[in-house]
Structure 1
Amino acid sequence: MTTQAGQNLMAHATQTIEVGSKSFAAAAKLFPPATRRAVLMLYAWCRHCDDVVDGQELGFASAPMAQVTHDAPFELDRLYDNTRRAYEGEPMRDPAFAAFQEVALGHAIAPRYAYDHLAGFAMDVNEARYRTIDDTLRYCYHVAGVVGLMMASIMGARDEAVLDRACDLGLAFQLTNIARDIIDDAAIGRCYVPDAWLLEAGIQPDLVALPRHRAALATVAARLVDHAEPYYASASIGLAALPLRSAWAIATARNVYRQIGVEVKRRGPRAWDKRVGTSKATKLRLLALGGLQALASRFGASRELPVRRGLWQRPGRAAPATGSAGPATAA
């Protein structure tokens, strides 16, 4: 790849993250240059796949005519095919796939992770229903947990116990996103909140967006935010296994996303009046906190991570000999 081509890819990836995720864009600046490039390249591919399946551009609705002609199953098949071609080393014209090819081959990202990610978009295309929290967590794994696995691979993580913690962070991020975006998701006919939780709160899943349900919906959103907490805690334990600057970036991203959940819970029924985010001042405070957490992880850390108990297990990983199915502690 020429230097100019490499610069163009980086410019494309940088623009993608700055528009698509202001929360993660701030944290990504903390990575060392080579890691930051790879992280942004991977993000650009993930964002592209999401947009292609949904008929959007950088998370926003595209032109009405494009939506009318959008064929999600066809587009999903193309994503699978282009991902296969990228792993086989074929020249990639699409910037998102050229970026993915560079990072996937350069960092030996396991193909199963990429295909697991695409399986999450297939769940959307197939209009999957989420009846239990385990169903929701399975979706969270595919669209976010496995992204954590790929990001950790970029940072040099290969130990399965460390990868578990990276996956946990992705699960926590997505649970937070689901709580924040319940009404926006309902507007496009999707609901990732467990049907069982909605019914317990007196809400029919297909009527989740009705204004009269706001108070009850706030209790469900708070429950999702609480459910994310042990996964955020588990992710913190994995910081010690990352290089210092990467640990700082990840700790900052963790803090920013977690704060979004805190704010959703604080706002209650008004959580969906305006999209919840974090101010620049709050991001700076959480960045400083992330630095302290990264430094603290350097001291007194054991070579072996404690066993995860009571947390959802990613595919291919056996559950511990003891422990329950629901979220308990992250020790």
Structure 2
Amino acid sequence: MVAQARESISRGSKSFAMASKLFAPATRERAWLLYAWCRKCDDLADGQDHGGTMTSVEDAATRLATIRTLTDAALRREATGDPAFDGLGVVAAECRIPHGFARDLIEGFALDAADWRPQTENDLLQYCYHVAGAVGLMMAVVMGVDPQDEATLDRACDLGLAFQLANIARDVAEDAEAGRCYLPRDWLTEQGIAPDALMANPAALAVLQQRLASKAANYEQSARHGTGALGYRSAWAVLSAAGIYGDIAREVARRGPGALDNRVITTKAAKLGWVAKSAFQARGRAAKWPAEMPRQGLWTRPRAD
């Protein structure tokens, strides 16, 4: 099960695979198990194989029902016959991950299955919470954060939001080709962009990509203020991932309209650079990014009832 999860993260995300190696062994394996479940759900929902080219699926509702059924069974510690889902059951039980966090992620897949489009910035951030912020919450618990520590969980959610905003900024053209758009309709209206002709005005679209990148940077910075609650190796991994993914958003902003032509990637050398830099940042994290720094002006994640 762990070996398959390790292969999944190696194939699905070189950035996360590199950052995960910085964790202590037990945390690393649990992170792999959690990633493998997230990846499997994403692939089922979008008809992909460890990411890659998105395909149009005709049975989205059936796929979503399968994800829900297998996840619920795994959380009850019932064997599902799928290592990715069984792995979720193991890590959720060992780390006491609140089941609501896993179900919140599935609601993100439900939005995509319903061909949902954000109308406002708040809608966008709500979506980012479901597809990435909830993963940040689960990862924080895997790293030893108390599920009742709302302040630290907020910072973990912020990192997920930063990652997803960077993804959306990077993937505007790819999403448009697949018939999807995660840019809020009111943002499009401000720039005079027709929702059904996104690629007709690259200059205006680049303005919105830069807006996404700016928001990603704000959430990335906020997330750093939660690393004081983590052990050194977990903080090292989180800061490395934050820097690596942050570079995606920064490069999108730097390229302007050119970011629509070729997919932005982070080189292996740049990733290793963040691993080295973050080793030092993690040692002085509490002083550099104090936990009490307010999350001023940032969106607030939903709380469980």
TM-score, normalised relative to structure 2: 0.95
For the 8 Å contact 1:161–1:305, the answer to whether it is kept is no
1:310 deviates by: 1.1
Over 3 Å counting, the alpha-carbon distance change for 1:272 and 1:300 in structure 2 is closer
Q: CA RMSD in A?
A: 1.8
Asked whether 1:43 is paired with 2:35, we answer yes
Identity of aligned residues (%): 49
- Aligned residue identity for 2:84: A
1:60 deviates by: 2.5
1:308 deviates by: 2.1
Could you tell me which residue of structure 1 aligns to residue 299 of structure 2?
A: 312
- Aligned equivalents of 2:304, 2:36: Cα separation in 1: 28
1:238 deviates by: 0.5
Could you tell me which residue of structure 2 aligns to residue 182 of structure 1?
A: 172
Asked whether 1:21 is paired with 2:21, we answer no
- Aligned residue identity for 1:20: G
1:300 deviates by: 7.6
Residue by residue over 1:98-147, the C-alpha shift from the partner in whole angstroms, topping out at 9 and shown as x without a partner, is 11111111111101000000000000001111011110000000000000
How is 1:242-321 mapped onto 2 (pairs within 5 angstroms)? 242-299=230-287, 305-316=292-303
1:305 deviates by: 2.8
- Aligned equivalents of 1:53, 1:147: Cα separation in 2: 16
How is 1:1-331 mapped onto 2 (pairs within 5 angstroms)? 9-61=1-53, 70-158=58-146, 159-210=149-200, 213-299=201-287, 305-316=292-303
Residue by residue over 1:237-296, the C-alpha shift from the partner in whole angstroms, topping out at 9 and shown as x without a partner, is 011100100000000000000001111111111112221111111111111121121111
1:317 deviates by: 7.7
- Aligned residue identity for 1:229: A
The alignment of Structure 1 onto Structure 2 pairs a total of residues equal to 303
1:301 deviates by: 7.2
- Aligned equivalents of 2:108, 2:95: Cα separation in 1: 22
- Aligned equivalents of 2:151, 2:158: Cα separation in 1: 11
1:298 deviates by: 4.5
Could you tell me which residue of structure 2 aligns to residue 6 of structure 1?
A: none
Over 3 Å counting, the alpha-carbon distance change for 1:245 and 1:268 in structure 2 is same
- Aligned equivalents of 1:112, 1:239: Cα separation in 2: 23
- Aligned equivalents of 2:156, 2:168: Cα separation in 1: 19
- Aligned residue identity for 1:55: G
Unaligned runs of 5+ in 2: none
For the 8 Å contact 1:238–1:305, the answer to whether it is kept is no
- Aligned equivalents of 1:87, 1:58: Cα separation in 2: 23
- Aligned equivalents of 1:290, 1:131: Cα separation in 2: 37
- Aligned equivalents of 1:37, 1:194: Cα separation in 2: 37
Tell me which moved more, 135-144 or 9-18.
Answer: 9-18
1:223 deviates by: 0.7
- Aligned residue identity for 1:42: L
TM-score, normalised relative to structure 1: 0.88
For the 8 Å contact 1:149–1:163, the answer to whether it is kept is yes
Residue by residue over 1:200-243, the C-alpha shift from the partner in whole angstroms, topping out at 9 and shown as x without a partner, is 11211221133xx1111111100110112221111010111001
Structure 1 or 2, whichever has the larger Rg, is: 1
Q: 1:206 is paired with a residue of what secondary structure?
A: coil
Q: 1:203 is paired with a residue of what secondary structure?
A: coil
1:45 deviates by: 0.4
Over 3 Å counting, the alpha-carbon distance change for 1:198 and 1:300 in structure 2 is closer
Q: 1:27 is paired with a residue of what secondary structure?
A: helix
- Aligned residue identity for 1:178: I
